[in-house]
Structure 1
Amino acid sequence: MSGPLLPRRGTGLLGGTFDPVHNGHLALAQQALESLRLGRVDFVLAARPWQKRVLTSISDRARMLALALAGREGMRVNLTEVFRDGPTYTVDTLRELRRRCGASEPLVLLIGMDQWANLTTWKNWETLTDYADLAVFNRGEAQPSVPENQKRWSATRIVPRETLNRSPCGFISFFDMPPHEASSTAIRRLLSQPRTAENTAKLEKWLPSEVARYIFQQRLYASGR
């Protein structure tokens, strides 16, 4: 018999280009809300990520996010990175959000296993937990190998996911979620192709209906980029 649920507390931070936002992103946010007992999840729109090419405008991606999250409890758009000049670095965003929310509010950065495996390539990666906790989600992938210095750094910081939201920052947890077929790359590829019944069925499954309608109205991704 399971014990009582812990109170919801803290803000999850799900960063990305959201080019476009899809149902896999929404499923991840919902899983994080439940698994980590967070008060909400912010979708942090990356305007100029230094490790990724962006295909649509900031305004289009912000609009798609707003449409996708409208009426969804516990989820909101965060435009902190949009108003910053220059390349987007996660550590700068965390520092800014920590300054805004104060010392006691739990902030939880949500990253995937692929990002965890590449964490040492991030700017000032060792200082990320000075500003937030890290929650690494696994969609059924094999546990990746990580560099030895990352293993040493994380060893004393790992705690059970149920306790992560008790601290404002400093710790690391892992949580599982079911695999999801949707990916922004696959969606963009389908949108660049003729609209067949099969492609339409996949897009209806992968995209929130409001986002799909906006994409077709604005003819986004139609050039095959």
Structure 2
Amino acid sequence: MSDRIGILGGTFNPIHMGHLKLAELALTELNLNSIMFIPSGKSYMKSNVLDASLRLEMVKLAISGNSRFSVNDIEIKRAGNSYSYETLETLHEAYEDTEFVFITGADSFLSIDKWKCPGRIFRAASLAVLARGDSTDEKLKKKAFEYKRIFNAKVFFLHAPIIDISSTQIRNMIKNGEPADELVPPSVYRFINEHKIYLKESFDE
């Protein structure tokens, strides 16, 4: 039987408890063997992002206590812009006999057909879409049907309780001197304070 690995990509600027809760949920609901966190490298969508080495270190700290979580710096090491289809195809070359499940939020899912080479994304991985609350939005259902028809996509929905945490919120709280220790893992919060991250400069999400 092949392994099933969930792929959770993102800027992780910073990684927070919402990311970790989503990963735990995906492990259970999708019957995954593990979750691979992939911090984004240079993005054609975002120009002002915290240095990749700092974001990578925060992810390593956040997941260090869970043996089923790993981090891969494939996009950080890549020269030029990072594209999801390239990442997934490269992972297939490195991990034989593995099924990948690409975990994404609702907004990204609705626009993924506008990404570079969407057909190659759907060929390389199943998609797991975070549907807020107990019901699946009709727009998501309609889009999933469209992707199945056009790309022969395999789509799952993850039903998660609404987690009102965002990286932007955390950065703003830290910049304004407000405590954000309950929103990120303790090790990450210590790292942010030690390196005085987010105190002055503003970043893209």
Tell me the TM-score normalised to structure 2 length.
Answer: 0.89
CA 60–21 in structure 1, closer or farther in 2 if over 3 Å, else same: same
**One-letter amino acid of the counterpart of residue 192, structure 1:** K
* Structure 1: gaps spanning 5 or more residues: 1-6, 159-169
Aligned residues: 201
1:82 equivalent in alignment to 2:76 = yes
Offset at 1:142?
6.5
The one-character-per-residue Cα deviations of 1:179-222 (angstroms, maximum 9, x if unpaired) are 1121100001111103xxxx31xx12211011011001101010
Counterpart Cα distance in 1 of 2:143 and 2:188: 41
Q: State the percentage of identical aligned residues.
A: 28
CA 149–184 in structure 1, closer or farther in 2 if over 3 Å, else same: closer
1:14 equivalent in alignment to 2:1 = no
> Alignment RMSD, CA only?
2.4
Counterpart Cα distance in 2 of 1:132 and 1:223: 39
Q: How does 1:36-47 map to 2 (within 5 A)?
A: 36-47=30-41
Counterpart in 1 of 2:197? 220
Counterpart in 1 of 2:125? 132
1:173 equivalent in alignment to 2:156 = yes
Counterpart Cα distance in 1 of 2:45 and 2:148: 23
Conserved? CA contact 1:44–1:79, under 8 Å: yes
Tell me the TM-score normalised to structure 1 length.
Answer: 0.82
Counterpart Cα distance in 1 of 2:30 and 2:151: 16
Q: How does 1:1-225 map to 2 (within 5 A)?
A: 9-102=3-96, 104-140=97-133, 143=137, 145=139, 151-155=145-149, 171-194=154-177, 199-200=178-179, 203-225=180-202
Q: Which has the larger radius of gyration?
A: 1
* Structure 2: gaps spanning 5 or more residues: none
**One-letter amino acid of the counterpart of residue 62, structure 2:** A
SS of 1:118's equivalent in the other structure is helix
